[in-house]
Structure 1
Amino acid sequence: MNVWPHVISMPLYLSLLLGIIVFFRKHYKLSAYFWLASLLTIPLWMMGNVDGWFRWAKIVSVIIPTIIVGFSRIAIYENKQGRIWNFLKRDEFLWFFYAILFLNIAEATIKDVTLGNYFNAACGFLLCVTIPFAPTFWKFAKEGYADLVAYTTGSWNFIYTSWNACFVYAESPTYFASSLCILLAAELYPVIKGRPELYITARIYTLAAHLLIRACYDIFPQVMNSSTWFNSEVLKSWGVINFVIIVPYVFWHMWQLHHNKAIISFKRAKVS
């Protein structure tokens, strides 16, 4: 297993992804129009870089919502008026982003089942169960640049990262190293900022950027091929570990909701 080429390529890609998060958070309007313009690259996707139902479902269910996030941020930040703008600003519309997150986890969970990665699939199902509900735990921030904020916990973020990494390890070992970079970028950015609620925003932009690069010009098999890293025993153990970790988290999550403590524990609000 040769890891030395990755010692250079992975930190560089990770740094690029962290920069992408910072850039698109700050430039909310450019973000919206950039991702809208990315649809012009669909002919490149059709040349073979996007293949199979899962890849098409994945890129469509990431790029389109990323565009909508961008225009929702414009609507909030600039207080746009009009039928569509007002619709994008409604609290009820936050359920759309909740549903997209649910869908993206569900897609991978179904794929995990088809791969026989059953314990990791079970973890994915429980991640869906423990997504904080909208609109109570979702919002577009009034301060800053109208970031999409989802009050996931640091523990949920970590479990999601481990679950998704395990899924990629099973589904496409060749891309595991590059996918690990986008997962680490999304995991590290909220930690660096001290704001776990920025995880979904970080995940949106890193995943969208990664999928767009792969769809347009797939360089990763050449510069970050990790196919030799695959080990079936590691995969099996990893899935079991993810499942074991999430089970107590599910009980904790439900306890917080049942005892009306979620506002404090999820949003980290202070009791007056």
Structure 2
Amino acid sequence: MISLANTLDVFASTVMDVFPIAVVLFVFQSVVLRRPIRHLSSVLVGFLLVILGLALFLVGLEAALFPLGETMAMQLTTPEFLQQMRLSSVGLLQWFDYYWVYAFAFCLGFSTTIAEPSLIAVAIKANQVSGGSIKVNGLRLAVALGVAIGITLGCYRIVAGDPIHYYIIAGYALVIIQTYFSPPMIIPLAYDSGGVTTSTVTVPLVTALGLGLASTVPDRSPLIDGFGLIAFASLFPIITVMAYAQITRWLNRHRPIKKENSNEI
């Protein structure tokens, strides 16, 4: 239930979180650079809007997004639902009986990443810096696909009960191999793409999904098995972005196109 007192507490907490950032920016501008702040009134209004937007987002997060993700995970893994939708006819539940969980995880990862503000900002800047060679929508789709695959695989790991370090080690081994063969211009961007996905929209829903899934799957611990999906969401976009660049470069080499477009990814 959203209350005025809770909203004011969140607003005050947001002010305290943003205040150090503002202090650093203003101090360096005034003391180190020794230059006046241009359009000071606009900057102050912008800070106020940032604080207000963050506060309202956090209130909505606690009231809607986080409970919704956890509730969906629990409903999709209830014994009644799984017995009704299961693929196997007899015996205990198998990992493939949770196929609706995997479908939900894939769609959730893809949709939340496409809407991620930090990813949109990085994609736009990458497009500007590269002179249009890196397409905004292409990068966003590659990252979103990586997050979707990673979260789906992470949900499978929770259901199967496998140790997480096997997946992480194998994933980064693939990243190392891809780094050797990828175009140099895409490697730093691919590594940053893993970080921008773990932001305001993706993290709460993915965390809620993992905790809800680990709470309802038999013999799983929310503390041990419920966390770790964020690691998958950070790792797999690196793989998919470099794969996107490698596939695009291969296609450009094997089809007749104009020379000036040969480096577009």
Which structure is larger by alpha-carbon Rg, 1 or 2?
Answer: 2
Q: TM-score w.r.t. structure 1 length?
A: 0.33
Pick 1 or 2: higher relative contact order, CA cutoff 8 A, min separation 6: 1
Q: TM-score w.r.t. structure 2 length?
A: 0.33
